[in-house]
Amino acid sequence: MEKAYKLLAKQQRISNNKAKEIIDRGLVFVEDKKVKIARAELPDDTRFRVENVADVKIIYEDDNIVAINKPAQVDSYDIQDAIEGAELLHRLDRDTSGVLLLGRNEKFIKDAINEFKNRRVKKEYVAWVEGIVFEETVIDTPILTIKKGKAFSKIDDRIGKKAYTVINPVEIQGKKSKVDIEIKTGRTHQIRVHLSSIGHPVLGDEQYGSRTQTKRILLHSKKMSIFNYTFEAPEPNDISRYK
């Protein structure tokens, strides 16, 4: 028996730190099961499969803004660090793919952040969720976020902050549904906790109750509009065609 990251480092001929990193990013599997704990003890003959991460693509850029099609499994801050002179206007969770916006100059960044704060940015997502969604559903329960260690959000009617999410059914496969989502607010994990609260957690989102194993949380930022800009990111294969 040996720790997972040490076995992976030997098999991939990489450093132990690099092996820990890619396990933590959710890219390492044994058959179809994700390796979640880098220090987990595994048999010496365990064979790993490492998922490749799609390339980061620029949708559009000018002197004010950069719109990125962010792949899943890439941290928003890593993208910021890779684009000189650009600053994140918002963030997407590591597992979430799609439109990510950065600003290029101080005035635009200030004005854009004000648009987000005043809920004037239109944000549209698409996801696969547990259960069958038949009709439009509005979720407006307040959300409280706890940021000690790994961030976690929950519904809290007493001290939670206002949050507003609208979902519409797109497709049903067995007991899973594809839904379009629009959010008016931008609370931490808002979509994930709101959908979980009505019994439809996003597929692969074990933190908020999904029992379906997937390579990542099946949530995609498909369209975003700010000022006179509108950006769209095509659905990746795991969103456009589930299973």
Q: Say which residues have a Cβ less than 8 Å from residue 188's Cβ, sequence separation at least 6.
A: 143, 145, 147, 151, 153
User: Catalytic: which of 44, 93, 95, 180?
Assistant: 93
Structure tokens at 52: 């490749």
Other beta carbons less than 10 A from residue 234's beta carbon: 14
Q: State yes or no: is 156 an active-site residue.
A: no
Kindly list the distances between the CA atom of residue 51 and the CA atoms of 35, 70, 78, 213, in Å, as whole numbers in the listed order: 12, 16, 18, 15
Which one-letter DSSP state was computed for residue 131?
A: S
In sequence order, what are the residues at sequence separation of 6 or more whose Cβ sits closer than 8 angstroms to the Cβ of residue 95? Answer: 26, 72, 73, 204, 216, 217, 219
Q: Which of 220, 222, 231 is nearest to 64 (CA)?
A: 231
- Cα separation, 202 vs 240, in Å, equals 15
Closest by CA to 65, choosing from 233, 232, 223, 229, is: 229
- CA dist 20 → 8, 44, 169 (Å): 9, 17, 38
Distance CA 153, CA 143 (A): 6
**Residue 47 phi, psi (nearest 5):** -110, 130
Q: Which residues are catalytic?
A: 93
